[in-house]
Amino acid sequence: MTDSLQGHKARKRFGQNFLQDDTIIQRIIQLFAPQVGQNVVEIGPGLGAITKYLLPALKKLHVVELDRDLAARLPTTLAGLGELDLHQADALGFDYRQFVQDGQKLRVIGNLPYNISTPLIFHLLSHADTISDMAFMLQKEVVDRLGAEPDTADYGRLSVMVQYRCQVDWLLAVPPESFNPAPKVQSAVVRLTPWINSPYQCVNESLLQQVVSTAFNQRRKTLRNCLKNMATEEDFAAVGIDSGLRAEVLSVQQFVQLTNQLSRHV
């Protein structure tokens, strides 16, 4: 990438595509609706395109930026707009619980690098009990997978585990020309809202992760074959699931029911 953006060269290894469409930015701010006193963290503020609107609306904002050059210039770019709590760190290994004070949950927002979006979402889900909602710019393909329904091509491990933890709401389509440099893919904004009263009552979440991962590992095989080392025909029968089906047919609720059945053997 050779584009120079306000003196900064976009770095391919960081997956940098900077949002520059002010109409899209304003729409994101409107949908996110930041309010003074809310506990908000922005992941990957970059050149501050969204940050410059978030900060004055909130008065105080936490940001996590991996790129040292961008982190160094943000305080100057955003000077006078509010209190910026800047962390130059890798979002994938960051402990977001440190931002939670007096029991006030976090709101999370970010234009996530496409090359780390899925592992970063899983990392944030491990903090789900401390997060009220998350709004992310992602590759449209990932957003489609997040909200996919059973028995569709997009439905998989990501769909099940995110929907188990969160309500998924598709918010906004974003074309490539809204970025510099323009990515070769379509983008979209999604809201993930961790359940307060979950519709899914799983007794062993680590086992659920194992069951879902194993079931989708060879998604063209039947559940009987994929889970042969974990589940018996009696287990499938106990929860009314046909073991001859493939993983993509099962709902989140059915995965939870099967996991609860298997947990009796653990």
Chain centroid offset of residue 110 CA: 9
Q: Looking at the predicted structure, is the pLDDT value of residue 115 above 60?
A: yes
Are 121 and 127 within 8 A, CB to CB? no
Q: Which two tokens stand for residue 129?
A: 């009990």
Q: Which domains does the chain have, with CATH numbers?
A: 4-194 (3.40.50.150), 205-262 (1.10.8.100)
Work out the pLDDT band at 12, boundaries 50, 70, 90: very low
pLDDT score for 112: 87
Question: What's the CA gap between 263 and 266, in Å, rounded?
Answer: 5
Give tens-digit pLDDT for 153-211. 999 999 999 999 999 999 999 999 999 878 888 999 999 999 999 999 999 999 999 99
Give tens-digit pLDDT for 45-60. 999 999 999 999 999 9
Q: Which residue matches tokens 């997060």?
A: 131
Q: Which two tokens stand for residue 263?
A: 């947990």
DSSP assignments along 213-253, one per residue: HHHHHTTTSBHHHHTTTT--HHHHHHTT--TTSBGGGS-HH
Length of the chain equals 266
